[in-house]
Structures are given as C-alpha cells and as structure tokens.
Structure 1
Amino acid sequence: MARRYDSSTTTFSPEGRLHQVEYAIEAINNAGTCVGILAKDGVVMASEKRVTSGLLAPSKSSEKTYKLCQHAACNVAGLTADANILIDQARLRAGRYEYQYSEDIPIEQLVEHVCNYKQAYTQYGGLRPFGVAFLFAGYDQHHGFQLYQSDPSGNYSGWKATVIGANNQSGKSLLKNEYGATPEEKDDEMKVEGAEEETSMPDVNKALQLAVKVLNKTMDATASSPEKMELFVMSLKDGDVVHKILNTEETKKVIDEVEAESSAAGDS
C-alpha cells in the first residue's frame, strides 16, 4: 500500500502518513548519535564521530557542532550537506534580528524559524524533506539555558535531556533513569511514575559524564576513545555565553572518570 503514496512528499496515505518524511526520519536514525543535556550551569552536547577512512585528513572544524550566533549552537545528525543550508538560514535570521532590534534573538524564535523552513519542504511539490535533525542549545536572559530538538517534519520540542541518531531509544532510556537521579534513587527500582518531573539538574561536569555514558551505550565501538566522540559545553562566564569544544586531553579525562565510576560500581 505504501508504494502507491511514497513517491510524493505532499500526498497523504489513507492512514494519514507522509511516507517521504518518515523515510527522512529513518535516515537520521542511522546517523551518528548526538546527545543533549541541560545542566544547571550550562548545556552539554556530545556527538559520535564516525571515521569512515583512515586516509581522510582531520577536519579543521567540527562536522557535528556549529555555532549559530554568540548565544546559540546546534548539533547535527544526518546529512551534513542538508544541515549547511539550514544552518545558514539560522545564522541569517539571528543576524537580521540583532540588526533590527539591537538584541539577541530568543532561542525558541530561532528554532521556530528553522523549523518553518523545514516544514515548507514537506508541503510543496518537487521538493524533498531535509534529511537532518538538530539539537539546539542556547541561552537568553529570560529563560536561561535551553535545549530543543527538531526533525525533518518541522516539529520541535524542548527537552531536559534527549538523544537523536542511531540507537536513540536505548540512549533515552538511560537518560530517563539517570538524569538528575541521586545514587540512592538509581538503586531504587520502586520509583513511582512521574518522579522524573521532580529531577534536579546536574552540573556541567556530571552532565558530561552522563553524555559519555550514553554514547558508550549507543556506539558500536567496544571501547570509547576521544577520537570517537566530541564533547561541547555552553556556559556563562562573566555574563557572556562561552562555547567550548573539549580537546583530546579534556575528553580523555571525562572518559576516565566514567570508567572509574563504572569500575567502582562493579566492585561494590
């Protein structure tokens, strides 16, 4: 039945589905994993770096994390070429807003603009959906640090912690159990439903460790290494938003802390 309705982005199936959009979402589910975690003093984003060939020259800039403006950044899962178009749109919108109003654009308005652009590609004939999903991290003076997720359909939603890309369901289940939980709560299997609503946010260091745990669970590699993951932190310093991609030594330190915690838990 689907074969009769999947040739056009604009044609609904009898079940009310747009198959081309679902195919784009499925393509993202095979992309490298990206993790976003909201901390009380910043936002952490971690992504899997897939090395397709040892002959490739190392990139001079990140292929997963992009700065949109001084107070916003994003992580990409899916087709990088598609992402570049949308990233340019976001940067253009942020620049025009600042020029027009002499202040930073609210994060949700920036996300909504990009998602409206993506949604148009599911509504007009002769176009295909963008094969990319985003995690948006940002800060504004009214709502503080924020984390949003968007997919090819143009939907977006705010999150405390989420995962996109390969094995995202197993990553989300880990986040659901460990985000904001104390060691006593992790051991308690009789947690009542809805308890996650009262979770306390971790600090940036704890969020980095949790992000590495998620990547360790979702990546195919048996052992984690700094070459296989990229860690990004957005934080405040003297009132200014700071973007930082951890270098190899800093990433290795976080990985070692996670392994030490795991071994200690195993010994106990």
Structure 2
Amino acid sequence: MSRGTSAGYDRHITVFSPEGRLFQVEYAFKAVKLPGTTAVAVRGTQCVCVAVQRKLPDRLVEPDSVSSAARISEQHGVVFAGLATDGRAQVQRLRAEASEFRYENGYEAPVSYLATRLADINQVYTQHAYMRPLGVTLLFLGWDDHEGGYSGPRLYKVDPAGYCIGYRACAAGAKDVEAQNWLEKRLREKQEELSEEQRDRLAVSGAAVQAGYGAPLCDIPLSDDETLELAIGALQSVTSAELKPSDLEIAIVTKEKKRFRVLTEQEVDGVLHRLSERD
C-alpha cells in the first residue's frame, strides 16, 4: 500500500491511515452533504429555531411526507441533514431514550442529555468494524426548564463522529461552512451595534482569545423575529435563491409555548411576508 493515499486504509473503519485519518468516518461526513440540503439554526433570547430546505425527490411525491424535523418529546425536537433513512433511525432511538429518562426520573430529559447520549452512541459506531457511522448530522433544539438550573432555549449539534457541542447559531448540510460564516458576520455586526454597557453586561470569558480563536461573540439578545430572520437569511444567502414556503421547513421552540413544533406552510408564508416587509 502506498503511503499518503487512502488505498487500503478506507476499507475498514478501525484502521488509521499513516496520517492518522479514518477515511470511513470522513466518508460519513460527505454523506451528510450528499442530499444537497442545508439546515440553519439560531438561538435567541426566548426562542430557538431551525430553517431547513425541503427538496422533493419526485414531482409525484406528497410534500407533507417529506420532512427533516421530528419531535422527540413535548419540549424537544431535532432537525437532521443528510441521509433521511439514517435520520429516522436516530429519531426512533432518541424517542426511546427520552421516554426512558422521563419514566425513570419523572421529568423531561434536558436537551444536553439527549445530545450527549446520542453523541456517545455515534462515537461507538466509529470503533467497531461491524458497524458504520450514520450519515446524518442532527441539530437539537428545545427548552430546558428545571428548578435551580438553567431555564431557556437550547441548541446542540451532533455529527457522525460523535462530536457534540452547544451553539448560539450553527449550520449543517451541503453549505454549512458558508452559512456559519454568514451567521458569524451578522452576529458580529449586531454585537458592534450594542452599547458599551450592554457589551460589558453580556461579556464572556476571554479563554477563547487566549486559545487563539479570536474575540468570542457575546450572547446577543435576539427577539423571536430576529432569530427567524437570521436563520432564513443565512439559508437564502447560501442557496442564492428566493425561498418559497413550499421550499422551506421551520421548526421552533418559544418561551410562550415551550413546546417543539413545525410551522405549517401558511405560517411559513406569513413569516416570509413579515420579514420581507421589514426589509
């Protein structure tokens, strides 16, 4: 086998290449981008939302049967980017995990618990030759409301390798890098618009600066409309197209209702119309 190439090293999931890479895991990340859809998630002050493209594989397909969003429990849900079959398998596993947690503890599982639990399972899939990583990235959104703990919207992202992390805004799918760059630029602009007093009040740790990641973004206060506007704006920017209600799926959790729900096509049309009037 020649060194420096994937020849021979991409046949088994547990064999590292001389460069220390697991090619089968990298192929799983490519499978996430294969369907060509992009999902963008933004966490606001009192809500969290995810906007994802809806692509019909055939003109004869019933549009309502094609969905990338799924409810896990009353307050939590996921939106996935990648292979739909793998996404549905993950949803079924998460529903079982959430149900078991509620039965044993008497309250809804925190979003962080469900995300880290699935990440642990995904990581095990990279350790055994008789398994394969699932080609899907999941965005977890929900509302955590626990006495003596954090109360508010939550957003987590879990990839095929089992990496789990919380976000203020993120993207997954075909053009995730472009969408995240757009989000970072817009949030940086919003941070600069804040007064010095507001910035001090929202200041975050300087550990990221010391680690060489640049100045971190503070937790910028975003209204429900601003949160939706950012998610939809990022999606429109990377797709370079004017999105129609039938091309868009929006999942949201707000403080008012504290439950996961997917907006109907009429509601999506109203959101797009409202945002266009603001522009």
TM-score range (shorter-chain normalised) is 0.7 to 0.9
CA distance in 2, matches of 1:257, 1:122: 45
The TM-score normalised by the length of structure 1 is 0.87
CA distance in 2, matches of 1:112, 1:166: 24
The TM-score normalised by the length of structure 2 is 0.83
Displacement of 1:208 in angstroms is 0.8
- Which residue number corresponds to residue 205 of structure 2? none
Deviations 1:17-63 (A, max 9, x none): 11011011012123310111101111111100012221112324x62
Q: How does 1:103-114 map to 2 (within 5 A)?
A: 103-114=107-118
Deviations 1:75-131 (A, max 9, x none): 010111111222111111111111111122122111111111111111111221101
Deviations 1:185-221 (A, max 9, x none): 49xxxxx99555225131111111111111112226x
Q: How does 1:1-268 map to 2 (within 5 A)?
A: 1-31=5-35, 32-60=37-65, 63-141=67-145, 142-143=149-150, 144-179=152-187, 181-182=189-190, 185=193, 194=214, 196-219=216-239, 222-237=241-256, 241-262=258-279
- Which residue number corresponds to residue 198 of structure 2? none
CA distance in 2, matches of 1:182, 1:125: 47
CA distance in 2, matches of 1:7, 1:161: 35
Whether the 8 Å contact between 1:134 and 1:149 is mirrored in structure 2 is: yes
One-letter identity of the residue aligned with 1:8:
H
CA distance in 2, matches of 1:248, 1:104: 29
One-letter identity of the residue aligned with 2:102:
E
Whether the 8 Å contact between 1:71 and 1:138 is mirrored in structure 2 is: yes
Whether the 8 Å contact between 1:180 and 1:202 is mirrored in structure 2 is: no
CA distance in 2, matches of 1:249, 1:217: 23
Matched residue count: 253
The DSSP-based 3-state class of the residue aligned with 1:46 is strand
Displacement of 1:181 in angstroms is 4.0
CA distance in 1, matches of 2:227, 2:105: 34
CA distance in 2, matches of 1:121, 1:209: 37
CA distance in 1, matches of 2:70, 2:138: 10
One-letter identity of the residue aligned with 2:85:
A
Unaligned runs of 5+ in 2: 195-208
Displacement of 1:243 in angstroms is 2.3
CA distance in 1, matches of 2:50, 2:62: 24
Whether the 8 Å contact between 1:133 and 1:152 is mirrored in structure 2 is: yes
- Identity across aligned pairs (percent)? 27
The DSSP-based 3-state class of the residue aligned with 2:180 is helix
One-letter identity of the residue aligned with 1:249:
Q
Unaligned runs of 5+ in 1: 187-191, 263-268
The DSSP-based 3-state class of the residue aligned with 1:85 is helix
Change (3 A) 1:45 1:180: farther
Cα root mean square deviation, aligned? 2.2
Deviations 1:139-185 (A, max 9, x none): 22222211001110011111000010111111111100113743974
Whether the 8 Å contact between 2:142 and 2:260 is mirrored in structure 1 is: no
- Which residue number corresponds to residue 266 of structure 1? none
CA distance in 1, matches of 2:57, 2:100: 38
Displacement of 1:4 in angstroms is 1.5
